[in-house]
Structure 1
Amino acid sequence: MAESKSYKPSSKYAKIFEGGTLYLRKDGYLIFQKYETDENDKYRRVIFTGKTEEQVVKKYKEFVKRAKEIRGQRQQEAYRMLTNATHGLKPPAGIDIDISLSDWVLYFIQTYKTPPSVKRTTYSSYMQTYQTQILPFFGKTPLNAVTDADMQTYLNYLQTNGRLDKKGGLSPKSIYNIFVVLNAAMEKARGKIIIENPAADLRLPEIQPTERRVLTVEEMEIFIKEIFSERLRVAMLLFLFTGARMGEVLALGWGDLNAKKRTIRINKDLERVQLFDDPSGKKTELILQETPKSKTSNRETPVYENIWQLLMFQRQVQLHDGQPNPQNLIFPSKRGTYTDPRTYQKRVQAVCKRCELQGVNVHALRHTFATRLMEQNVPIRIIQNLMGHASIVTTEKYSHVLDDEKRKAINRMSGFLPGTEEPKRDTPQ
């Protein structure tokens, strides 16, 4: 091997390694030495060896990059400590101050929105929002780096591209539901991870009142005649004449009937919820919630006498047939289990198709019940109780019926105006 001698860097390396020395060692290795700032922010001599210039270059660049990263992390940590000391931020145990927004939302749901503290339907709704809307957009963006402008940009994006099928934006109501999850999670992070809630002052799209599909009296008569060919006919009648929700009707057991008062007790709700990370691979599950949608949903509802008699007839048929019904359900499936709400929806849709009723779904039947009561001038508080609405504001949405009646009354007065046909009356001579 040649004697050790000074290695003169090429013009290429002279440019890259400005301020350093590159030479060939006796064993044939290239040596590069230079004074550089290390990860501890100390200016010292560093040495790199390699068989080729490429190896030396790689080692040097890796050192510089790593040292810069470590110094940056320490500076950031120092800044966090100063910020925490100044604003009193204190992350929960096991949570890093640099947690991503997505991970924080997941932590928030799994800590504060998990059964039994909330209903499984609420948990399922929050998790679905997290997995389909929040995680894909924010990814690993640090929570403490998100501004109110970022949040507003996100809501604007949902209005134009929020649909999962990428065919447009979400409705204002859907965007509001996503905002509820985000705002609650951000508010819980305030004072722990972040100083201010970036979702506190956002501009949400206005939720416009939607036109409720209600059966006319004539359509209602057609529908009632047609359902008597259905196995779930009594369930449909209860839905139409009590205003109960679909899950509330399908959850009814014979023990919920009061024969003396001719009433049904509504205190349960049947729902199909989405599952997350289920070991068996199931995507959804049918669950029975012991409490309905809200506290006011827990109620006792009168039943028309003729519908009561239909219920009693159905009871006798069940006892005679001897079909399995271990849970003593009023509307069991053919296997003796709870009837899936999807099955019920399909049967209602089939009836509407045969009747040629356009735009009618299960909820339209519930709306029809409330509308008929409003037309009969039933006090709104009574309607609220029968419908199980948590707020009377929800019930007041049916007041459009009264507006229609008032409009008809005003139109009847139009005959007194000049240029219109006046009502016949005696006139003085």
Structure 2
Amino acid sequence: MARRRGFGEVERRVSASGTVTYRARYAMPDGTRYSRTLATRMDAEAWLVGERGLIDRDEWTPPQARRAAEEKRQRDAAFNTVAGFAERYLSERSLRPTTIRGYRKLLANRILPYFGETPLTDVSLTDIKRWRASLDPTTEATNAAAYRLLRSLLQAAAEEELIDRAPPKVRGASSAPVRNVAVPATLDELAVIIDAMPERLRLLIVLAAFVGLREGELLELRRSDVDGVAGRIDVTRKVDKDADPGTQGACPDCGRHISSPKTRSGVRTVHVPPPFVKMLQEHLLEHTAEGPTGLLFPGDRTDHMSVRFLMDRYRPAREAAGRPDLTIHHLRHTALTLAGQHGATAAELQARAGHASQAAMAIYQHATLDRDKALAEKIGQTYEAWSADRTS
């Protein structure tokens, strides 16, 4: 039976299993009825009192709309924590898979253990300084990367007006001192490494050490990217070796993620020093996969070569040269050092390397293909002179 009151009514209900509940209900002037079932009569009557209070204060809206608004408020509150906003930040931006992977690692290991459930509005400069002081001092580079990510999150939150402004910068927090300076390889060391590599991989070492191509760029070079007569190579793609296989942009044959270079300046044309053009031509004939899209350095099944396969062959070669410290990236450093020694300007070095920075963008226009070719020729002349002295 329903128990009538001054506003609404409460009905006691018994289910087939014997469970007792109480349904509170009321009608609005337009005849629309609203109800809610609760566990006790006291709860049901309290709900009616609350609804009547909203009507008296002219604050009433349909209960369903209020529930939806509360759910939205709770969702917004969750997104307005550092953890919630970080998830939005990663999902709403066009970031590379490798970038997302790196950011998630920084969040999980450095940022969220300290700031995870903290509301964005509560993150202060003092909190950031305390957080930095809590980090492992032996991982300065990672700490600096974590700070840069946290600051980016807070700046994005400020742009969306979720906070009034991002806390001021912490001086020096975004950079870390360079502990291990790459030592370029000498021409003698490079000769030993090249000779110790399998024939199919010697050109890869040359393109890394004398042209300055990145590992991911080398592994994605194809026959159509190379002009064997002019010794010219177009760099337009790279393998993202740390990306999850099968993600969007993955190679259908091997699952590796292929993307354009990280910046617009990474798309470039470079020249091989003349002494190595014959090696390039022979490699195209003997070791490159068939067809215009055939990989310059294919794996065992003509798909992409794995980094492990490459390193299993490169590691003994660098040890033979007495340079166990020399990574593939250090070979690229060697190439840029050689270019600098031969008079390359900052603009030419950045153009040849495919680097980009706001400070350098204004002068990129002075780095031309003709100048890059001349630079390659100078490097080639030095190599030829060294080679002649070595054999005499």
Give the equivalent residue in structure 1 for 2:169.
Answer: 201
1:105 aligns with 2:60: no
Q: What is the percent sequence identity of the aligned residues? A: 22
Contact 1:155–1:204 (Cα < 8 Å) also in 2: no
* TM-fit CA distance, 1:255: 0.3
Q: How does 1:242-281 map to 2 (within 5 A)?
A: 242-275=211-244
Give the equivalent residue in structure 2 for 1:165.
Answer: none
Matched residues in 2 for 1:238 and 1:327: separation?
19
Matched residues in 2 for 1:376 and 1:98: separation?
53
Matched residues in 2 for 1:364 and 1:393: separation?
24
Matched residues in 1 for 2:155 and 2:346: separation?
36
Give the equivalent residue in structure 2 for 1:11.
Answer: none
Matched residues in 2 for 1:186 and 1:158: separation?
19
Secondary structure in 2 matching 1:273: coil
Secondary structure in 2 matching 1:335: coil
Contact 1:100–1:143 (Cα < 8 Å) also in 2: yes
* TM-fit CA distance, 1:341: 2.9
Match of residue 154, structure 1, among 115, 122, 131: 131
* TM-fit CA distance, 1:247: 0.8
Question: Which moved further from structure 2: 204-213 or 149-158?
Answer: 204-213
Matched residues in 2 for 1:369 and 1:326: separation?
28
Deviations 1:143-183 (A, max 9, x none): 333322111111222243xxxxxxxx312x32222122111
Q: How does 1:290-369 map to 2 (within 5 A)?
A: 291-318=260-287, 327-369=293-335
Contact 1:243–1:386 (Cα < 8 Å) also in 2: yes
Match of residue 257, structure 2, among 249, 265, 287: 287
CA gap 1:350/1:293 in 2 versus in 1, 3 angstroms: farther
Secondary structure in 2 matching 1:378: coil
Matched residues in 2 for 1:268 and 1:330: separation?
13
CA gap 1:99/1:385 in 2 versus in 1, 3 angstroms: closer
Matched residues in 2 for 1:317 and 1:136: separation?
54
Give the equivalent residue in structure 1 for 2:182.
Answer: 212
* TM-fit CA distance, 1:327: 4.4
* TM-fit CA distance, 1:260: 4.7
Letter in 2 for 1:138: F
Question: Which stretches of structure 1, 4 residues or more, deviate above 3 A after TM superposition?
Answer: 91-94, 203-206, 323-327, 391-394
Give the equivalent residue in structure 2 for 1:133.
Answer: 110
* TM-fit CA distance, 1:299: 0.7
* TM-fit CA distance, 1:137: 2.7
CA gap 1:93/1:245 in 2 versus in 1, 3 angstroms: farther
CA gap 1:187/1:136 in 2 versus in 1, 3 angstroms: same
Contact 2:97–2:243 (Cα < 8 Å) also in 1: no
CA gap 1:152/1:230 in 2 versus in 1, 3 angstroms: farther
Q: How large is the RMSD of aligned CA atoms in angstroms? A: 3.2
* TM-fit CA distance, 1:325: 7.7
Letter in 2 for 1:108: Y
Matched residues in 1 for 2:358 and 2:205: separation?
25
Matched residues in 2 for 1:156 and 1:380: separation?
37
Secondary structure in 2 matching 1:95: helix
Matched residues in 2 for 1:369 and 1:128: separation?
32
For structure 1, which runs of at least 5 residues remain unmatched after alignment?
Answer: 1-90, 161-168, 279-284, 395-429
Letter in 2 for 1:175: N
CA gap 1:274/1:127 in 2 versus in 1, 3 angstroms: farther
TM-score, length-normalised on structure 1? Answer: 0.58
1:181 aligns with 2:176: no
Matched residues in 2 for 1:219 and 1:325: separation?
35
Letter in 1 for 2:258: L
Secondary structure in 1 matching 2:280: helix
* TM-fit CA distance, 1:272: 1.8
* TM-fit CA distance, 1:334: 0.3
Matched residues in 2 for 1:147 and 1:239: separation?
45
* TM-fit CA distance, 1:349: 2.1
Give the equivalent residue in structure 2 for 1:224.
Answer: 194
Letter in 2 for 1:225: D
Letter in 1 for 2:82: L
* TM-fit CA distance, 1:242: 0.7
Larger relative contact order (Cα-Cα within 8 Å, sequence gap ≥ 6) = 2
Deviations 1:8-34 (A, max 9, x none): xxxxxxxxxxxxxxxxxxxxxxxxxxx
Contact 1:297–1:388 (Cα < 8 Å) also in 2: yes
Give the equivalent residue in structure 1 for 2:15.
Answer: none
CA gap 1:355/1:98 in 2 versus in 1, 3 angstroms: closer
* TM-fit CA distance, 1:304: 2.8
1:120 aligns with 2:97: yes
CA gap 1:351/1:393 in 2 versus in 1, 3 angstroms: farther
